[in-house]
Amino acid sequence: VTSNLYINTRLATLSDGVAADYGMIENGAIAVHDGHIDWIGEVSKLPANYTGDRWNRIDLQGRLTTPALIDCHTHLVFGGNRAREFELRLQGASYEEISRSGGGIMSTVRNTRELDENALVEDALPRLDAMLAEGVCTVEIKSGYGLTIADELKMLRVARKLEKHRPVRIKTTFLGAHALPPEYADRADDYLSEICLPAMELAAEENLIDAVDAFCEGIAFSLAQVTRVFDKATELGLPVKIHAEQLSNLGGASLAASYGALSADHLEYLDDEGVLALKNSGSVAVILPGAFYTLKESRQPPIDALRKSGVAMALATDCNPGSSPMTSLLLTMNMGCTLFGLTPEEALAGTTRNAAKALGLQNELGVLEMGKLAELAIWDVEHPSELSYRVGFNPLFKSIRGV
Ligand SMILES: [Zn+2]
């Protein structure tokens, strides 16, 4: 077992236990043993038992250390791309128009169904690599482009397989209620009964699901239909999440909160009642500026109301081929600040501490504290605000996972 002692580093711990902004500790040291943070603090307070030969000392030369980044909402596994749709949107077609005319999600569904597991892995790896290059160590990946029992299971297996190809933790989310496939046009309830719910049950038996998500929107599933999905998830003992209030306010966030959801995501049209529901349930509000940017939306999520209510806010890429063809979590942080008025500290908390919470990983990850997993990002920057400040620049020095 390797025991490393990292010294001469500035630590943005994001820990509530450290009063300074970002939980900063200047002149810090971190002892990593057996994959966990064994000790963390100011180097002047380092106990004597960390100085012996057993500890391999590594001088980080004043660099900044943060928790490894976490992308808590992605659709990373899919076939094809939607550059043609991008062109059409620029000529004036709306997301809803493209969706109703059989483009949009349906073209990705066709491409995803065509590819086998290995081909989908090969397609996903460059996107995953782009994330890892920016200090990401945990990625959530949703199904939802298969929309048959076999293809939904295939997507979840592909997502899990990525862990064998790269040093990353994957959390899988079943999103069978993402879109209605053409073979079930105007028969959403039949689709749920015949495909979505049985697929969820089979995937759960195969232990392929960490959480269950649903897209609650006029172009997707109604509150009553999402209720059926969440009831099944609850029966199977799986936590829920929701895509809600992105294009209109149907009250999806409140519904998800009533199931104790891990998170409610998008939220541009969230109202005060929805904010209160998230506050009471302790669900994380996952903010996705990449989709807002790509779709050139104008309605901003109610950041100030969420902040005042103390709702934890996370930020994610929403990486998907249509509404957010983005793999950069650093750019997401910049957009969260520039487009939505998050502070750089909120942006960093949103890709570390609160992103961990959105995945139910808050006891293991997301902050630099004794006992947490040693998943760290070392940056060539002086202050953590620089991570949100720059556009299209990657200052990662090194990712550390476990040693
Ligand atoms: Zn999404």
pLDDT digits 0-9 by tens, 294-338: 988 999 999 999 999 999 999 999 999 999 999 999 999 999 999
| 287, β-bridge pairs | 315
pLDDT reported for residue 102: 66
Cα separation of 33 and 39, whole Å? 9
Q: What is the mean pLDDT of the chain?
A: 96
Q: Ligand 1 centre from 288 Cα, in Å?
A: 8
pLDDT digits 0-9 by tens, 30-58: 999 999 999 999 999 999 999 888 999 99
Q: Ligand 1 centre from 73 Cα, in Å?
A: 6
pLDDT digits 0-9 by tens, 333-379: 999 999 999 999 999 999 999 999 999 999 999 999 999 999 999 99
Cα separation of 15 and 303, whole Å? 22
Q: Ligand 1 centre from 243 Cα, in Å?
A: 6
Q: Ligand 1 centre from 315 Cα, in Å?
A: 12
pLDDT reported for residue 88: 84
**Beta strand pairing call for 284-287 and 313-315:** parallel
Cα separation of 70 and 73, whole Å? 9
Cβ neighbours, 10 Å, residue 305: 17
pLDDT at 101 over 90: no
pLDDT reported for residue 296: 87
Q: Alpha helices of 136-219 — where are they, by DSSP H? A: 149-165, 188-191, 197-205
Q: Ligand 1 centre from 13 Cα, in Å?
A: 28
pLDDT at 98 over 90: no
pLDDT reported for residue 403: 80
Q: Global pTM?
A: 0.97
Q: Ligand 1 centre from 324 Cα, in Å?
A: 8
Q: Scanning the structure block, which residue is given the tokens 């799986």?
A: 238
Q: Ligand 1 centre from 391 Cα, in Å?
A: 23
Termini Cα distance of the chain: 9
Backbone Cα Rg of the chain: 21
Q: Ligand 1 centre from 213 Cα, in Å?
A: 9
Q: Alpha helices of 236-365 — where are they, by DSSP H? A: 252-258, 272-281, 289-294, 303-309, 329-340, 344-350, 353-358
Q: Ligand 1 centre from 47 Cα, in Å?
A: 46
Cα separation of 124 and 314, whole Å? 23
pLDDT at 279 over 80: yes
Q: Ligand 1 centre from 290 Cα, in Å?
A: 10
Cα separation of 332 and 391, whole Å? 10
Which token pair is 157? Answer: 């297996």
Q: Are 65 and 28 in contact (CB under 8 A)?
A: yes
Q: Ligand 1 centre from 104 Cα, in Å?
A: 13
CB under 5 Å of ion ligand 1: residues: 318
